[in-house]
Amino acid sequence: MAQDYDKIFKENIEQIILPLAEKILQIHPEKLVEIPDDLQRTIERKPDFLKKVAHKDHTKDYILHLEFQTKNEPKMVYRMHEYYALLLRKYELDVYQSVFYLQSKKAQMPTRLQKRHLDFQFDLINVQDFDYQTFINSNTPEEIILAILGNFGQTQATVVIQSVLEKLKSTTQDTTRREKCVKQLEILSNLRNLQAEIIKQLERMALTYDLEKDIRFKQGIEKGKIEVKVLGIQKALKRGRLSLEEIAEDFEVSLDFVLQVKKGEIRLNK
């Protein structure tokens, strides 16, 4: 399921990065420049967002690196330090790093790494800390759907959902884009256990998106997800870079499942 959330942010990153930078990170990039793929291939996991922030005054340039997390990662600080070191060596620029935590509870992962001659730290941002209106007042649908992850305060979840859907309806004339955002909203709503209410309000409002009564998460699609996990685990085992426990955590399966794949006890139908 974590892969579903990652996909949403990677698909929408160009539309939401500037609002996130300005409203949450309090930075105002003048220009974003692509980072060459050859650098990203040297990193075990491709960063969720990595750009160079360029200014007219080049002495102010820096690297902006963002990650989006749906689970506490005890070793996240090591991964962020690895990114930092590679980027610093390549560009010799300051590196601005932030991890956005998307769950409703506060993140518990360590953010500081202190060793002899080393004191490293990254910024950890709980999206739940921000008022949902921070996002819903936007005119960009990809940003509006982030309201479902914000802090509702005293506002009932049903009211927030209705407001999000109404805003999507009024700001998105392109039916395909609207349907994409509604589907993404439904996926994100699982992080707040609000999928049932999303479905209820969609049926009431008839936003043209067919949710198929949530059946698509069962039967054939569930089988497809398992096959994807098995293939991914097989590749991870072949590379040999991660422990069995790390593989299980990355693919959100049990250690026993990983062991079964390793032993060849779980096979894909040809």
Instruction: Tell me the per-residue pLDDT of 60-113, one tens digit each, with 9 for 90 and over.
Output: 999 999 999 999 999 999 999 999 999 999 999 999 999 999 998 899 999 999
Class of residue 108 by CB neighbours under 10 A (exposed 0-12, middle 13-18, buried 19+) = exposed
Contacts of 142 (CB under 8 A, 6+ apart): 12, 15, 16, 181, 184
Task: Write the DSSP symbol of residue 68.
Answer: E
187, HSE (Cβ side, Cα atoms, 13 Å): 18
Task: Write the DSSP symbol of residue 77.
Answer: H
Q: Residue 155: which of 185, 124, 126, 194 has the closest Cα?
A: 194
> 131-153, pLDDT tens digit by residue?
999 999 899 999 999 999 999 99
Q: Is this prediction's pTM over 0.85? A: no
Annotated domain spans of the chain: 2-129, 133-215, 219-263
Q: Residue 255: which of 243, 267, 264 has the closest Cα?
A: 243
- Average confidence (pLDDT) over 219-243: 78
Structure tokens, 74? 């005890």
Q: Residue 12: which of 100, 75, 82, 94 has the closest Cα?
A: 100
E strand residue ranges, the chain: 31-34, 49-54, 62-69, 94-101, 112-115, 118-121, 123-126
- Residue 100, strand partner residues: 68, 125
